[in-house]
Chains A and B, each alone.
Chain A
């Protein structure tokens, strides 16, 4: 609850510089361009609120909100472009491993590259696009990003179980536990991925003014439940991620008119 009082806010009492610096540090979460445009206004509001609440440092909630919104604001078109290029590089690095057949250390390096890093960077580029288009808020963009990376990290573990299981089968060792573990771990990855996809679809439908919240959530859930396992299975090879990364890099490429706009972020 915000305390009442003078609608024009507190008086001109200034915090000592060391205490004001605690609040100013929160601005570092935001990109430079955003800070230049909005930073002082945001800082002023933080200080006004803190004075009314008798605080000399930001609350934990304010710190968390600044981190989530600041990092989310960094997810923009430029970030999407570089993420897509990095995804392309990771995917290309994984291609020779598939061509040679996975052996030894590649059993773990391949899932890290082809199932976690390359699709994670591609997902980051997608989220950068939808955040820049204001389809999702910075905070929701960060939530979706965390879900997507968590889903892919779990999927990478599933892929590692799979390839290790193959090696053990080749060596004539029993693999029953590993195969059962693969399906359970893959299921967790699918659920996390489905929630991430549903969050994007729900936001897109809300922006388009389509359906009430229950309809949007249900539709997002159904699309996520279908798309997540399909995407997961496509990660067996890095080919799909390569094509998606190329498309994302092209659509996020720097354009002259974008440079002429005021910097929302940098």
Chain B
């Protein structure tokens, strides 16, 4: 199973709690990722089209507000499983990194007086 790209990961995360429309997904991905993911609208729709083709998200209705079409997207069961698996893998990697950081480290060359 290929890893999710950062953009796909944050889009699926944005849809984990509820369905959202395009602008709402942009806002949520930027907020949830603390600004690390700032998608352009065209890039968002390219990613959504790919995720839809992979069966991870699905369109979930449209509404027209002020003459603007808002298409909602929702996570599919497969998308939820995939996001959970990715989150587990990331958590496992983070645990390993924290364990290594917590283990005693040898003194550096500078501290040992080595030029």
Instruction: Say if A and B assemble together.
Output: yes
How many residues from A make CB contacts under 8 Å with B?
Answer: 44
CB within 8 Å of B: which A130-184 residues:
134, 137-139
Cβ 8 A contact of A14, one of B3, B66, B71: B66
- A residues contacting B by CB (< 8 A) are 1-5, 7-14, 26, 38, 40-49, 52, 61-62, 65-66, 68-70, 72-73, 134, 137-139, 206-209, 264
Q: Which residues of A contact B67 (CB under 8 A)?
A: 12, 14
A-B pairs with beta carbons under 8 Å apart, 19 shown: A2-B29, A2-B31, A7-B20, A8-B65, A9-B23, A41-B62, A41-B69, A42-B45, A43-B68, A43-B69, A44-B21, A44-B69, A44-B70, A46-B41, A47-B68, A49-B23, A49-B26, A66-B41, A137-B46
Q: What DSSP secondary structure best describes chain A's contact surface?
A: helix
* CB-CB nearest in chain B for A7: B24
Query: Which of the residues A8, A14, A40 comes within 8 Å of B24, measured between beta carbons?
Result: A8
* Number of inter-chain CB pairs below 8 Å: 110
Chain B interface, number of residues (Cβ within 8 angstroms): 36
Cα distance, A208 to B3, chains bound together (Å) = 10
Cβ 8 A contact of A41, one of B22, B47, B65? B22
Q: Does the CB pair A41–B1 fall under 8 Å? A: no
CA distance A66 to B50 in the complex (A): 16
Partner of B70, one of A9, A13, A138: A9
Contact B46 A4 (CB under 8 A): no
B16 interface residue per 8 A CB criterion? no
Asked if A7 and B27 sit within 8 Å, CB to CB, the answer is yes
Give Cα A70 to B45, complex, Å: 11
Closest 4 CB pairs of A and B: A12-B66, A45-B22, A48-B23, A65-B40
Q: Is the CB of B65 within 8 A of A69?
A: no
**Which of B20, B50, B65 contacts A137 (CB under 8 A)?**
B50
For B1-40 the 0/1 string (1 means CB < 8 A from A) is 1110000000000000000111110111111000100101
Q: Are B31 and A65 in contact (CB under 8 A)?
A: no
A106 to B45, CA, bound (A): 46
Q: Are B26 and A2 in contact (CB under 8 A)?
A: yes
Q: Which of A48, A61, A73, A134 has the most CB of B within 10 A?
A: A48
Q: Please report the C-alpha to C-alpha distance between residue A1 and residue B34 in the assembled complex, in whole angstroms.
A: 9
